[in-house]
Amino acid sequence: MAVTPADVKKLRAATDAGMLDCKKALVEADGDFAKAEKILKEKGLANAGKRADRATTEGAIFTHITDSKACAIELDCETDFVAKTDQYKELGSTIAKTCLEQGLTELNEELETLIKEGISVLKENMVVKKIELMDVAEDETVAEYIHNGGQIGVLVKLKCDSAATASNEDVKGLAFDLALHGAAFNPPYLNRGAIPETYIKEQEEIFTTQAENMDKPANVVAGIVKGKLNKHLSQICFVDQAFVKNDKLTVKKAIEEAAKAAGGSIEISGYSYFMVGQ
CATH number of domain containing 90: 3.30.479.20
Do residues 208 and 114 share a domain?
A: no
- In terms of domains, do 187 and 83 share one? no
Q: What is the CA radius of gyration of the chain?
A: 25
Say if residue 196's pLDDT is above 90: yes
**Smallest Cα–Cα separation from 273: which of 120, 140, 145?**
145
273 shares a domain with 158: yes
| 82-127 per-position pLDDT tens digit | 999 999 999 999 999 999 999 999 999 899 988 988 888 888 889 9
**Same domain flag for 129 and 226:** no
CATH number at residue 210: 1.10.286
| Whether 40 and 16 share a structural domain | yes
Judgement on whether residues 142 and 248 belong to the same structural domain of the protein: yes
Span 164-182, pLDDT tens digits:
999 999 999 999 999 999 9
In this structure, are 189 and 162 located in the same domain? yes
Q: What is the pTM of this model?
A: 0.77
Question: How far is the first Cα of the chain from the last one, in angstroms, to the nearest whole number?
Answer: 48
Reply yes or no on whether the pLDDT at 33 is more than 90: no
Last residue of a domain, one of 135, 155, 170: 135
Identify the pLDDT of residue 46.
64
For the chain, the average pLDDT equals 90
**Per-residue DSSP letters for 178-244?**
HHHHHHHH--SBSSGGGS-HHHHHHHHHHHHHHHHTTT--HHHHHHHHHHHHHHHHHHHBGGGSEET
Q: Are residues 276 and 160 in the same domain?
A: yes
Indicate the number of domains in the chain: 4
Residues 14 and 93 placed together within one structural domain of the fold: no
Same-domain check for residues 109 and 62: yes
**92 plus 214 within the same structural domain:** no
| Window from 48-57, 154-163, 232-241, 269-278 with minimum mean pLDDT | 48-57
Residues 35 and 112 in one domain: no
Q: Using 50, 70 and 90 to split pLDDT, how confident is the model at 215?
A: confident
CATH of the domain at 40: 1.10.8.10
Range of the domain at 228: 196-236
Neighbours of 37 (CB within 10 A): 19
